Structure 1
């Protein structure tokens, strides 16, 4: 067990993906070298999901039924002395040693508030077909380009999050982008090329199935974080960024379908 702060790991779920929820929770429970508190936020009526959460020794919190951001906020409210925070979807997975790797990055740099690593993209069957390794470029383009920081492969200091406030419950898709932009003012971002998590890319994924709406929401969030004098110029780069995101997303979807075929 490494010394240093513990991790609050939150998994929000509607209980509709019980086939992947178990592996997601197991991947958190399997983390070695770091103390981890697992919290599952789930509707009271999702009995099977609640049973699976209990089997994995999770703290079970009722879903407030106000969307994903509210569910994550509810999980954070269950913190009990942890130093770091992470959340993953009910169909994502952490790689063995992933959290310890990220904790090590933050422990070695007290001025850093976010650590992130490389993230695998896996298809419906759990087969990896691509890897996101943006590294330092992710923070550099965050304010105007695509959000290249993979949420499942990231870790944040809880005290920094409390300083900037909870996730914006008015956002449906890009609450992570908004949080990352707010956290930039409170410290450095550190990264590793090590693969620390996996994100499941499939047609039912929230941002994949609603790409156009997600992009528009992201543009609005990035504009409000720009200096007021620069905001009118945002349209100059929004269109090429939008095109790039659509091209990359289409290619990833094609690769995922080929793996499935």
Structure 2
């Protein structure tokens, strides 16, 4: 297969979120105006998840059990001539015209390598309670601030990824940030205010320990992408960025918990 406008969509899953996996895959299958090759990466023993994936016409690939980055890389290896790539979690969803909107952005600007839009935050019941829409600011702060490019609401040109290489499998939390930083050298980032995806926010899943580990890993990744002369100055903005991330995360969790009680 060779289709200039086709999308490779990868969904890694451990098979533990059976209630949300089906809706996530259905949201990809319901994409309007774009050809999608759906790949689900799942452990061999997760029979229920494999059955759901097959029911949605997905290519099912065994999870290599080396972490999330490795699972996504295995999914990307299934590409068969698609021009673009996206991945979402097994509890996230896409809006019906999400991928078509991003494909149009990239096909109208051949110098662009990443397109992204707004992303809704939904609670455990699937109800929207906030939206992430940083627009062009997301690209401008990428090298020193929080990663404001929502992965579920992004689309990447596969030819650019082939140049920079696969996701870094040594990273546990910020593999997307690292990839976005590497892709900057390949072309422009284009954005839209249109809502592309829905990210499920689990208010109790982000423990303080994991959040701190994620922020620390992010600091390390950003430093290695900075010019060597600038790296010693990174301490000047890392602490304020850490505080900002924690404040925003706490606010989102409070809003999600409040909705859960209503």
TM range (shorter): over 0.9
| Structure 1: segments with no counterpart, 5+ residues | none
Correspondence list, 1:1-261, <5 A: 4-203=4-203, 205=205, 210-261=210-261
Runs of 4+ in structure 1 off by over 4 angstroms are 204-209
Answer yes or no: is the 8 Å Cα contact 1:201–1:208 preserved in 2: no
Answer yes or no: is the 8 Å Cα contact 1:164–1:183 preserved in 2: yes
Quote the offset at 1:38 in angstroms.
0.3
Greater mean deviation of Cα atoms: 204-213 or 72-81? 204-213
Q: Which whole-Å CA distance do the structure 1 matches of 2:39 and 2:209 have between them?
A: 26
CA shift in 2, pair 1:206/1:102, >3 Å: farther
Q: What's the TM-score, normalizing by structure 2?
A: 0.97
Secondary structure of 1:250's counterpart equals: helix
Quote the offset at 1:63 in angstroms.
0.1
Answer yes or no: is the 8 Å Cα contact 1:207–1:214 preserved in 2: no
Q: Which whole-Å CA distance do the structure 1 matches of 2:104 and 2:208 have between them?
A: 32
CA shift in 2, pair 1:208/1:67, >3 Å: farther
CA shift in 2, pair 1:171/1:180, >3 Å: same
CA shift in 2, pair 1:20/1:203, >3 Å: same
| Structure 2: segments with no counterpart, 5+ residues | none
Q: Once the two structures are superposed, what CA deviation does each residue of 1:51-105 show, in whole Å capped at 9, x if it has no partner? A: 0000000000000000000000000000000000000000000001100000000
RMSD of aligned residue pairs (Cα, Å)? 1.3
Answer yes or no: is the 8 Å Cα contact 1:4–1:107 preserved in 2: no
Q: What's the TM-score, normalizing by structure 1?
A: 0.97
Q: Once the two structures are superposed, what CA deviation does each residue of 1:154-209 show, in whole Å capped at 9, x if it has no partner? A: 00000100100000000000000000000001000000000010000004656887
Secondary structure of 2:82's counterpart equals: coil
Q: Once the two structures are superposed, what CA deviation does each residue of 1:199-224 show, in whole Å capped at 9, x if it has no partner? A: 00004656887211100000000000
Q: Which whole-Å CA distance do the structure 1 matches of 2:207 and 2:109 have between them?
A: 32
Q: Which whole-Å CA distance do the structure 1 matches of 2:33 and 2:168 have between them?
A: 32
